[in-house]
Amino acid sequence: MEKTVKFLKKPITATLIAIFCGFLVATVILAASGYNPFEAFGALLGGIFGRPKYISNVIIKSTPIILTGVSVAFAYKMGLFNIGAEGQFIVGAVAANVVGIVCDFPAIIEVPLVLLVGAAAGAVYGGIAGWLKAKYNINEVIVGIMLNWIALYFSNFVCNIERFHKPDSDGTYAINESGFISFFTTWKTTEAAADFVQEHPVIGDILRTDANAGILIAIALTFAVSFLLYKTTKGYELRAVGSNRDAAEFAGINVARNMVQTMLIAGALSGIAAAIAIAGNNPHGISQLSAFESNGLNGLSVAFIAGGSPIGCIFAGLLFGGLLYGGQSIQYVVGAPSEIISILIGTIVFLIALKDMVPVLIDKMGKRGVK
Amino acid sequence: MEVRKDYAVQMHDITIKFGSYTALDQVQLDVKKGSIHAVLGENGAGKTTLMNILYGLYQADGGDIYLYGEKVEMKNPNVAIAHGIGMVHQHFMLVDNFTVTQNIILGHETTKAGGVVDLKKAREEVMGIVKKYGLEVDPDAYISDISVGMQQRVEILKALYRGVDILILDEPTAVLTPQEIGDLIDIMHKLVEDGKTIIIITHKLKEIKASADYCTIIRRGKYIDTVEVAGVTQEELADMMVGHRVKLVVDKQEAKPGDVVFEVNGLTAKDNRGVYVLKNLSMQVRRGEIFGIAGIDGNGQKELVEAITNLIKVESGTIRIGGNNIENRTTRETMDAGIATIHEDRQKRGLVLDFSVEDNAVLDTYMKEPFSQKSILNRKEIRKFASSLLKDYDVRPDSCEELAIRGLSGGNQQKVIIGREIANNPDLLIAVQPTRGLDVGAIEYVHKMLVRERDKGKAVLLISLELDEVMNVSDTIGVIYDGAIRCTFQQGEVDEKTIGLIMAGGTLDGKNS
Amino acid sequence: MKKWKKVIPAVLMACTLAGCGMAEKDDSVYRVSMVAGTGGINDQSFNQLSWEGLQSFGEHTGADVRVLESKQASDYLTNIDRATDTYSDLVWALGYSLADSMLTIAKMNPDINFAIVDYAFDESPHNCTGVVFRAQESSFLVGYIAGLTTKTDKVGYVGPMKSFLNDQFQYGYMGGVAYAAHVRGCEIEVQSQFTESYSDAAKAKAISNKMYSNGCDIIFHSAGGAGYGVIESAKENGKLVIGVDTDQSHLAPDNVLTSGMKNTNIAVELVSTMAMNGEEIGGNTYSYGLKEGCVGIPEENKIMDPAVYDKAMELQQMIIDEELTPPLSEETYQAFVEGLGK
């Protein structure tokens, strides 16, 4: 009993239980609406692992939300709730897209340029929220939500500027190919590639997707953020302010400055997530938005599932991306409404938000066990 | 005392325990109807706890409560309110962006048909009470726009509007100006004339003498006596409040004070509510001496520390350490100038509870060599430092460098803080309530550390609400009252009674004040 | 705990195999997959109607039909790609935004037929089919009805944003109004404005309120979801409104004069049937209009003057008989108006 209690008390356990319960709820709903849950989850897993290219697509789709997740988790370490990740992502996408269209340098310059401009735009956007919070104590959540909407309409505005708008579409031009970070972009369409694909079905399958360097950048950045948080004086300050502002202040740490810096970095992470999406995947541009694409908002869920750990965001992001991408198979194969996957994710996040209850419940269980 | 009808409140043999700690031990309180009854005691004596029991906020573990001779079970505040008891807390419970009238009627709104609040009628009723007791206040002003004294009147009006017979005032004068205190005493007399009964919790002797008819003294959770105020002197009250203490012996040599290293001149500052709490405060601390500040809570101790450590703005006056002015700088500059502070609120200001012990050990030195180089933390050096600190200060459990400091006992947490601050090798070590919540062994240890620093030739500033502690540890004692140091004595020069009197606002003829 | 480590991979394996099972080739069934746009298949409009058409096709022919919804623009490519994994014989893409992605995938899958709604190819690949609607015909018709019905001789138009596709609605409608003015021998003013969004109903409502107070008594909209704002405004102002895409009279029975319907369901079913029957549809762009019954107005129009309906039906026949060609762009509109003057 004692051993079980100890195991159950680990934070990861609560997360796993939440995920399991999410599936349980989805099972009930699927069964109640007349679909075979096992078939549905089979389709889900098939949609994630069924073919090499599906795995590749899951990774591609996870990349931006891993980074927005890290952005949220990073700000959260400082005690800030970065709901503005969505807006930071959008302005990052717009900036990366515009620069990628206007500038046409060799890849060695173009790629970093596109990525850095995206990061810079996100940083400025996040910085606004941080500055308002630090200077005037305006709630970063409210500012974030408002900035999200401003970003959405700004994006649509840019999307409709003639210089960028691609005729007969609802999006912009793709950025110049020199800015792509996809693997073998040009080679893929050649005859040699076609032959190669014939001979190597697995690699060929992956090459059919937008497999790109984004995930490597994302992982590198995640480790960099983790390093910053746990190995540097700056990270020490951020965490101190996040866990106990009063003590940090008393120890001579400049709380306001750290707040702005945190939001600059969090914004940059969301911005570069967008830039990676622009440089990495089709359509390499932005589209007219009628609603949020939720790249930033999903980051909140990812950070939640990861329990605020940047490294955890890699796994949570992959899980999330897998559910989102593989989840479409449930509709496609079984015919169940696509909302089922939203319910599944929603339940998981909800239960994880409640997970502080789990140790309490387990404590009770443990006491009962002792009796 | 027997239960009688002409007594508004009788609380007999009240006992309450918080865990293993007995906060009140068989305390008696008998309040005659139509009188002003003071409850006197030091901080932590149990005055407010007793009142909270009367108001139904706490349930006593033993004892009975009688109102007008009837036994009452005070299960919750609603029972108390139903019996006509009202309480004005030390911290007001008002809605800032409501008007005075709206605040007064909150929870007891007069409504017209359909549940619409009849503000006009309510305003008339409020004005009626205002006139009756001379509680001048603008019924249409917003709470955020009126002074603290006015806010207190609103709290009293709130109670009167609900038709109370027994009014409890918890430290009512703590936030008031002398003029406002005078007005409050007048109002209290008017209320009593109208047949109300007032219980006032305070530790200010002057006000008791000026207002109360009777006074019950509580010391450390124990009932001492109830006296008729007219028949006792301030000195006698102070004596009863402070009591004859068991001396805590602090083993130390005669101090060998050097030159003045820390100097405060004419320091004036406001607290976060905008009230002046430091009023032209001056003091000097020498090398090799422990300067203790004695005083009752809320007389400016907290703000003095905050002003020195640059957490609040100084309006006027100077603070100098080693000849350098440090007022209105940053906290870090204060530290760099050679001041280390052991804050009274360990968990709020002193530690990051979620951090490991070793991370807490470098909370104000993490950015210095060798703990970090070029902004990268040097974990090895931090560990080395923490380990030696833990060993030097005998922090338990063994090898707890990586544990979250939350898991350590209060005494061990305090040892980490003390070790950390002393390691900064400051010219002035400020210790605020350094033994709060610690057991006897830990207290002794902390005192030993302060003496050791003194003997190394450091200046030590000890601020404590425990008079014993100040009396026994300090070489020089300053008494703070109402935002200024009123008197300064050498250890052994005067007795506790005298200091207790000054702490409570009394004066010592011909000496200093 | 150790047990878990063994169980989890086992479960994963089992599910993976089950998941792969779906993709076995079976020649006896005709498979059609549809990739919907970001509106989703419950958008009460374009995507939903198209999916209904495909479902109806499935019921009539016994074909296996499936749908994939896109959550964002970057899903287009991966969704169309996935549709090809299940040995589909025909893959539908809904909306011109999906065109680029569809072309990319079509190039990699020369054996599969692809069809796209609302997109005309300049040069159609051999396995791609475009399906477009002559929305200008239905718009012309409702414009004519509006021109005959208006009392104030002022009518309004609320569009989403300028695009070649939307020009069909706007200039078709304006042409119809001009034609009615010509028939009646008077001047009718058309006020046009854009919401810049398919979803901003609040903005559409504000625009319509303005138009109604400017004296317009009928507004036609082609703003998708944002159009609900126009209908709501009509309801509140007690004015008339003309719906789009589907028969929108149920939204405001007393205010919806008629609707310029675009029956994508019929087109989807039509083209799917052709493909299933082995017709060579690749390389073509089909244009559907009044003649094919793919655009038009509802048969029942409760509040429309029957005389106006009869006149509209006469006009419809003229268009079907190609006696009259409604304008579909600014240039053709100008030419049309000049033609009327002569």
Q: Mean pLDDT for each 10-residue chunk of chain A (371 residues)? A: 67 81 89 89 90 91 96 93 96 96 93 96 96 92 95 92 85 91 77 76 80 93 95 93 91 92 96 95 86 90 90 93 89 85 85 72 60 41
The residue of B272, B333, B363 whose CB has the most chain A CBs within 10 angstroms, and thus the best one to mutate to test that interface, is: B363
Whether chain A lies against chain C with 3 or more Cβ pairs closer than 8 A is: yes
Q: Which residues of B474-502 are buried (b: 16+ CB within 10 A; e: fewer)?
A: bbbbbbbbbbbbbbbbebeebebebbbbb
Domain membership of residue C6 (yes or no) is: no
Question: Among B479-493, C13-27, C195-209, where is mean pLDDT lowest?
Answer: C13-27
Based on the domain organization, do C43 and C99 belong to the same domain?
yes
Q: At what angle do helices A339-353 and A11-32 cross, to 10 degrees?
A: 150
Distance from CA of B482 to the nearest CA of A (A): 25
Can you tell me the distance from the alpha carbon of B260 to that of B283, in angstroms, rounded to the nearest whole number? 10
Q: What is the pLDDT of residues B3-61, one digit of tens each?
A: 888 999 999 999 998 776 788 999 999 999 999 999 988 767 788 889 999 999 888 88
- Do C41 and C108 sit in the same domain of this protein? yes
> Cβ(B86)–Cβ(B41) under 8 Å?
no
Return d(Cα A320, Cα A322) in angstroms, integer.
Answer: 5
DSSP state of C223: -
B506: pLDDT strictly greater than 80: no
Contact B255, B222 (CB under 8 A): no
Q: How far is B55 from B155, CA to CA, in rounded Å?
A: 16
C16 — pLDDT class (breaks 50, 70, 90) = very low
Contact check, Cβ <8 Å, A160/C19:
no
Residue C337 and residue C189 share a domain:
yes
Q: Is residue C307 part of a domain?
A: yes
- Residue of chain A minimizing CA distance to C100: A283
Examine the domain organization and report whether C116 and C146 are in the same domain: no
Tell me the pLDDT tens digit for each residue of C134-174: 999 999 999 999 999 999 999 999 998 888 888 999 999 99
Cα dihedral angle (A35, A38, A39, A44), rounded to 10 degrees?
Answer: 110
Same domain, C224 and C328: yes
Domain of residue C62, residue span:
28-134+265-288
Domain boundary among C288, C303, C324: C288
pLDDT reading at B327 higher than 60: yes
Q: Are C326 and C295 in contact (CB under 8 A)?
A: no
State residue C21's pLDDT score: 41
Whether residue C13 has pLDDT greater than 70: no
Q: Which chain A residues are closer than 8 Å to C97 by Cβ? A: 169-171, 287
Q: Label residues C154-187 b or e (16+ Cβ within 10 Å = b).
A: bbbbbbbbebebbbbbbbbbbbbbbbbbeeeeee
- Contact with chain C for residue A55, Cβ under 8 A: no
Return the amino acid letter for A98: V
Confidence class for position B121, pLDDT limits 50, 70, 90: confident
Torsion-angle region of residue B278: left (phi > 0), alpha (psi -120 to 50) or beta?
beta
C50 and C99 belong to one structural domain: yes
Interface of B with A in 255-314 (CB under 8 A): 309, 311
Interchain contact, A251 vs B353, CB within 8 Å = no
Rama region for B2: left / alpha / beta (φ>0; ψ in -120 to 50; rest) = beta
Which residues in A lie closer than 8 A to residue C104 (C-beta atoms)? Answer: 282
CB B212 within 8 A of CB B36: yes
Q: How far apart are CA B441 and CA B447, in angstroms?
A: 10
Report the gap between the CA of A124 and the closest CA in chain B (Å). Answer: 24
C4: in domain: no
Chains linked to B by 3 or more Cβ pairs within 8 Å: A
Per-residue pLDDT at B311 exceeds 80 = yes
C-interface mutation test, from A276, A282, A320, A342, most C Cβ less than 10 A away: A282
| Same domain (yes/no): C62, C178 | no
Which chain A residue is nearest to residue B309, measuring alpha carbons?
Answer: A250
**Contact list, A43 vs chain C (CB under 8 Å):** 19, 22
Question: Kindly report the CA angle at B62 between B57 and B65, in degrees rounded to 5?
Answer: 60
Residue C25: is it exposed, middle or buried by C-beta count within 10 angstroms (0-12/13-18/19+)? exposed
Q: What are the DSSP calls for C178-211, one per residue?
A: HHHHHHHTS--EEEEEE-SSSS-HHHHHHHHHHH
C326 plus C178 within the same structural domain: yes
Query: Predicted ipTM?
Result: 0.83
Which residue, among B341, B351, B352, would best test binding to A if mutated, counting the most A CBs under 10 Å from its CB?
B352
> Which residues 6+ apart lie within 8 Å of B160 measured at CB?
B86, B129, B133, B167, B191
As its CATH architecture, domain A60-333 has: Orthogonal Bundle (1.10)
In 3-state terms, what secondary structure has residue B408? coil
Q: What is the pLDDT of residue C25?
A: 60
**pLDDT at C17 > cutoff 50:** no
Residue B90 has a pLDDT of 76
Cα A320 to Cα A300: distance, rounded to the nearest angstrom:
11
Q: Does residue B493 contact residue B465 with C-beta atoms inside 8 Å? A: no
Q: Say whether A247 and B349 touch across the interface (CB within 8 A).
A: yes
Residues of chain C with pLDDT > 90, as a percent, come to 56
With respect to residue C5, please indicate whether it lies within any of the assigned structural domains.
Answer: no
Q: Partners of B480 in the beta sheet?
A: B485
Average pLDDT of B421-433? 92
- Would you tell me which residues 488-507 of chain B have a C-beta closer than 8 angstroms to some C-beta of chain A? none
Q: Across the interface, do A247 and B350 touch by the CB < 8 Å criterion? A: yes
Q: How far C315 CA sits from the closest chain A CA (Å)?
A: 30
Distance from CA of B91 to the nearest CA of A (A): 21
Task: Name the domain count of chain C.
Answer: 2
Helix boundaries (H) for B298-378: 301-308, 331-336, 357-361
Please report the domains of chain B, with CATH numbers, ordered by start residue. Answer: 7-242 (3.40.50.300), 252-338+426-513 (3.40.50.300), 348-423 (no CATH)
Chains B and C touch (3+ CB pairs under 8 A): no
DSSP designation for A10: S
| Confidence category of residue B512, pLDDT binned at 50, 70, 90 | very low
- Spell out the domain ranges in chain A: 1-35+336-371, 60-333
- Partners of residue A338 in chain C, C-beta under 8 Å: 40, 69
Interface of A with B (CB under 8 A): 231-234, 236-237, 239-240, 243-244, 246-254
User: Does residue A244 sit at the C interface (CB-CB below 8 Å)?
Assistant: no
A:287-346 residues touching chain C, CB 8 A cutoff? 287-288, 290-291, 293-295, 324-325, 328-329, 331-333, 335, 338
The amino acid occupying position B474 is S
Same-domain status, C299 and C219: yes
Q: Which of A205-214, A249-258, B330-339, B453-462 has the lowest mean pLDDT?
A: A205-214
Q: How do B222-228 and B214-219 pair as beta strands?
A: antiparallel
Residues 199-218 of chain C with CB under 8 A from chain A are 199
Question: What type of residue is C79?
Answer: N
Instruction: Please state, as a whole number, how many other Cβ atoms lie within 10 Å of the Cβ of residue B178.
Output: 9
Q: Is position C11 within any domain?
A: no
The predicted pLDDT at position A366 comes to 59
Q: How does residue C121 score in pLDDT terms, banded at 50, 70 and 90?
A: confident
- DSSP letter (8 states) at residue C21: G
pLDDT in tens, A209-223: 888 899 999 999 999
Rounded Cα–Cα distance for residues A280 and A66 (Å):
15
Contacts of A244 in chain B (CB under 8 A): 348, 351-354
Chain A positions in Cβ-Cβ contact with residue C81 (cut-off 8 Å): 53, 208-209
**8 Å CB contact of C66 and A57:** no
Q: Is residue C1 part of a domain?
A: no
Distance from CA of B379 to the nearest CA of A (A): 8
Whether residues C128 and C144 share a domain: the answer is no
B202 beta partners: B40
Tell me whether residues A233 and B366 touch, CB distance under 8 A. yes
Signed CA dihedral, A254, A256, A260, A265: sign only: positive
> What is the domain-level CATH number for residue C96?
3.40.50.2300
Q: Look at the pTM and tell me if it is higher than 0.90.
A: no
Q: What is the pLDDT of residues B86-105, one digit of tens each?
A: 998 877 888 888 888 888 88
